[in-house]
Amino acid sequence: MSRYRGPRVKIIRRLGTLPGLTNKTPQLKSSSINQSTSNKKISQYRIRLEEKQKLRFHYGITERQLLNYIRIARKAKGSTGEILLQLLEMRLDNVIFRLGMAPTIPGARQLVNHRHILVNDCIVNISGYRCKPQDLITIKNKQKSETIINKNIEFYQRSKIPNHLTYSSLEKKGLINQILDRESIGLKINELLVVEYYSRQA
């Protein structure tokens, strides 16, 4: 299954706020439509499916990629759901987004693909690159790259950067301090339902 490229507002209208997908806000539906949908009984399968879809669309990954992350998380020691979120949050495109260097994760992915981003002074053009603690995220020393990033930071720098990240506005550098904790996740999600969804699919 390929990465979703359709209308984003349609997705957040169905699943709720997904800051990684888009910063747009959908128009409210009429009360009559909301009332008719609220009267329907929602199955447990649908609840788990929607939580899984939240992860997919927020982080901009394919079904196969998410399944691979689930398999890695199951093999690691600790809570499978929490490790899954840590793996997704340490993707390079998400780190750039959380630093405020891009408005959305698709925007961050474009910066990576166009070779504007350096990790430890080396160009990385793989958006799914797994970052590690003490990795240094910088901008390629070219005027075009700096102009794009500076414009994004001016408009999209978050008022509160997560504790596991540090950003220097003067040096235009981001640093990964540590593996993030559960409270730093920038998405309202019940990761246990996602793990349950895939355990039932197995």
User: Cα–Cα distance between 20 and 105 in angstroms, integer?
Assistant: 5
What is the mean predicted confidence (pLDDT) over 46-74?
93
45, two tokens: 């399968």
Start-end of CATH 3.10.290.10 domains in the chain = 91-178
Instruction: Note the pLDDT of residue 5.
Output: 67
* 60-72 residue pLDDT tens: 999 999 999 999 9
Under CATH, which number does the domain 8-87+187-201 receive? 1.10.1050.10
Length of the chain counted residue by residue: 202
User: 29 or 30: which carries more pLDDT confidence?
Assistant: 29
Query: Do 93 and 126 form a contact (C-beta atoms < 8 A)?
Result: no
User: Cα–Cα distance between 172 and 89 in angstroms, integer?
Assistant: 21
- 91-178: which CATH topology? 3.10.290
* 143-155 residue pLDDT tens: 767 676 666 665 5
Residue whose structure tokens are 């998400």: 94
* 91-108 residue pLDDT tens: 999 999 998 888 889 989
Query: Do 179 and 134 form a contact (C-beta atoms < 8 A)?
Result: no
User: Cα–Cα distance between 193 and 49 in angstroms, integer?
Assistant: 8
